[in-house]
Structure 1
Amino acid sequence: MTAAACEVVVRARAELGEGPTWDPAAGVLLWVDILASRVHSYDPASGRRTVRTTGQHVGAAKPRTGGGLVLNLRDGVALVGPGPEGAFRWLHRDPVPGRRGNDAAVAPDGSLWAGTMRYDEARGGGTLTRLTGDGTAEPVLTDVTVSNGTGWSPDGRRMYYVDTPTRRIDVLDVVLDGGRQVVNRRPLAQVEEGAGFPDGLTVDADGCVWVALWDGGAVRRYTPDGALDRVVALPVPRPTACAFGGAGLTDLYVTTARTGLGAPPPVAGSLLVVPDAGSGLPQPAFAG
């Protein structure tokens, strides 16, 4: 595939667009602009868009089983109720000076795996934490730098994870104790020098891993054994994350960023889509 296969569905000027997530209950694509503290939604059937301001930098927004959203914010993880005036409350408040929430993902058991990073991207300053609906927080990974893409294989036995500066997509084995633990972290694939840095990811119905390449201008698809088998070229240098959406989960949505680009392309910061790119997996809502 080439850039010609890609379409702009929401022309925006997001500083740091991130975290596309398909909400099947609402039939919308959720995504965030981290540095603008905004959560966006886009309905591909009607073209309707909404924007919610969070008041803090927001790394991710995911749907909840009871309606509303769970947010990975600068100072911790919070819940908001359904509707534009939904009530806000902290689920797990953990402010650390110089640190913010980044990418997050919902595991097959409905728990939220929320990543953090330091604003200065200091080595070892980030974490990955598992949170349940009652606010219980368990550290999963510490001593990471930029906690980014996280996803699970179709059978739930593997977890994929990106700490961006390592240039790796890692794979871990899920301990079958309800999925609370992961072990045996090892590289699945290494992104070569000059091809960009791995950022957000998603896993498709074939068990393949799609990853956006920051400063690489592309999304790549890796097979479960780590082989590169597809590259989607994009008209922007800084794609940040990808997710399947639409009624049939066949369209690949890609968020993009303008931050740090002296003369960004006109569509940088927009929400892109590659129609009929593959077959996605239904994503669980946060059980809280």
Structure 2
Amino acid sequence: MRAEPLGPVRAELGEGPVWAPEEGRLHWLDVLGQARHVTDPETGETQTHPLPRLTSCLARRQGGGWVAAGGQALHAVEEGQDGPRLAALPEGTYGRFNDGKCDAAGRLWIGTANAEGRFDCHLYRIPPGGAPERVVDGIAMSNGLGWSPDGRVMYYADSTAQALYAFDFEVGTGALTNQRRLFETTGDEVPDGLSVDAEGHVWLALWGGGRLVRLTPAGEVAAEVHFPTPRVSSCAFGGAGLETLFVTTAKEGASEEERAADPMMGALFRLDPGIAGLPVAMFGG
């Protein structure tokens, strides 16, 4: 598998790719650049929309439009404009929202993160019309989320713990049980965003390692893709038949010398993995 850069944009912190099938476009974020990019998968042509705040997560909404999470709040996004606040963490809560994704029941699962390495953050679920509910404690840098094709297993990455976890998942109640470590990294390589394919394998971005690994449901490495830049941050399936994998990268933390020597740093990439992805659920309401 060969990853190719797509378009001219170089993000400071590329993250949160989401395929919009009704548009035939990929939406993705530059978190630190406070921008939402919308990219044509064939030409790489990209429209850039400024955001009013640091935004770490986007999700399509069943009733139309999008939701966006940033800081400690979840907002509606309607016709590209910032809308009303839908939910927020209680005042005084430690950490900020990071990566998130919706389950089949329309709940948004999103965790908090901090830059201090403290394991004082949490994974939350936000039901449509409800307040954030704390589900998993002892998190430092909450990141990628995804579900098995049958919806009975949830995958979840904590970057600072250098671990990808699996949980048994009950879609009716949103309950998590039987937490186990599925995959671990070492050194400067940490798990980041992820996506699950139609065969139930997990595609996990490894920040600092310049690679994407495809993991079996048992956590074994079945394949890997190498990139010409080290900070691989997230991935999402899209395109016709969900047969293209889009991968974001970043510049964050790189020196001026590293940036000058790496023209691919912060680029959006695409590759053809030979297997389709799964449709991504939308936020309810």
Query: TM-score, normalising length from structure 1?
Result: 0.92
2:180 is matched with which residue? Answer: 186
Aligned pairs (5 A) from 1:120-199: 120-175=115-170, 178-191=172-185, 193-194=186-187, 196-199=189-192
Instruction: Name 2:9's counterpart in structure 1.
Output: 12
> Secondary structure of the equivalent of 1:160?
strand
Aligned partner (choices 216, 225, 243) of residue 250 of structure 1 = 243
Distance 1:97 1:109 in 2: 26
Question: What is the rounded CA distance, in whole Å, between the counterparts of 1:231 and 1:160 in structure 2?
Answer: 18
2:35 paired with 1:38: yes
Amino acid at match of 1:254: V
Give the alignment partner of residue 112 of structure 2, picking from 116, 121, 131. Answer: 116
In the TM superposition, residue 139 of structure 1 has moved relative to its aligned partner by 1.1
Separation (CA, whole Å) in 2 of partners of 1:56 and 1:99: 16
Q: Specify the SS of the correspondent of 2:6.
A: strand
Secondary structure of the residue aligned to 1:36 is: coil
Moved more, 49-58 or 228-237: 49-58
Any idea what SS the aligned residue of 1:58 has? coil
Q: How far off is 1:50 after superposition?
A: 2.2
Q: Structure 1 residue 194: deviation in Å?
A: 3.6
Structure 1 Cα separation of the partners of residues 19 and 161 of structure 2: 28
Give the whole-Å Cα distance in 1 for the aligned partners of 2:58 and 2:238.
Answer: 15
What secondary structure sits across from 1:165 in the alignment? Answer: coil
| Residues paired across the two proteins, number | 280
The 1:31–1:277 alpha-carbon spacing in structure 2 relative to 1, beyond 3 Å, is farther
Q: In 1, Cα distance between the equivalents of 2:249 and 2:153?
A: 27
Q: State how 1:212-231 maps to structure 2 within 5 Å.
A: 212-231=205-224
* Residue in 1 that maps onto 2:22: 25
Aligned-pair identity in percent equals: 39
CA distance in 2 between partners of 1:9 and 1:106 (Å): 26
Question: Which of 245, 254, 258 matches 1:261?
Answer: 254
Q: Is the 8 A contact 2:238 2:277 kept in 1?
A: yes
Q: Which piece of structure 1 moves more, 231-240 or 70-79? A: 70-79
Aligned 8 A contact 2:88 2:132 in 1: no
SS of the residue aligned with 2:32? helix
Q: Does the CA-based 8 Å contact 2:237-2:245 persist in structure 1?
A: yes
1:206 counterpart letter in structure 2: E
- Write the letter of the residue equivalent to 1:126: C
Please say if residues 14 and 29 of structure 2, whose CA atoms lie closer than 8 Å, have aligned partners that are also in contact: yes
**d(CA) in 2 for partners of 1:12 and 1:54?**
16
What letter corresponds to residue 189 of structure 2 in structure 1? Answer: G
| Mapped contact 1:236–1:267 kept (Cα < 8 A) | yes
Cα offsets for 1:20-40 (capped at 9, x unmatched): 111222221111111122111
CA drift of 1:93 comes to: 2.3
TM-score (norm 2): 0.92
| Alignment-mate amino acid for residue 281 of structure 1 | L
Letter in 1 for 2:40: D
Aligned to 1:102: 98
Cα 1:27–1:55, aligned 2, differ >3 Å: closer, same or farther?
same
CA distance in 1: counterparts of 2:141 and 2:188, whole angstroms: 18
Q: What RMSD, in angstroms, separates the aligned Cα atoms of the two structures?
A: 1.8
Give the whole-Å Cα distance in 2 for the aligned partners of 1:43 and 1:110.
27
5+ long unaligned stretches in structure 1: none
**Distance in 2 between residues matched to 1:230 and 1:195, nearest whole Å:** 20
Query: SS in structure 2 opposite 1:268?
Result: coil
Gaps of 5+ in 2: none
Of residues 217-226 and 30-39 in structure 1, the stretch that sits farther from structure 2 once superposed is 30-39
1:11 to partner: Cα distance: 2.3
Structure 2 counterpart SS, 1:108:
coil
The answer on whether the counterparts of 1:12 and 1:267 sit within 8 Å (CA) in structure 2 is no
- Tell me the equivalent position of 2:59: 62
The alpha-carbon deviation at position 108 of structure 1 amounts to 1.3
Please give the alpha-carbon distance, in whole angstroms, between the structure 2 residues aligned to 1:100 and 1:68.
Answer: 23
CA distance in 1, matches of 2:274, 2:71: 33
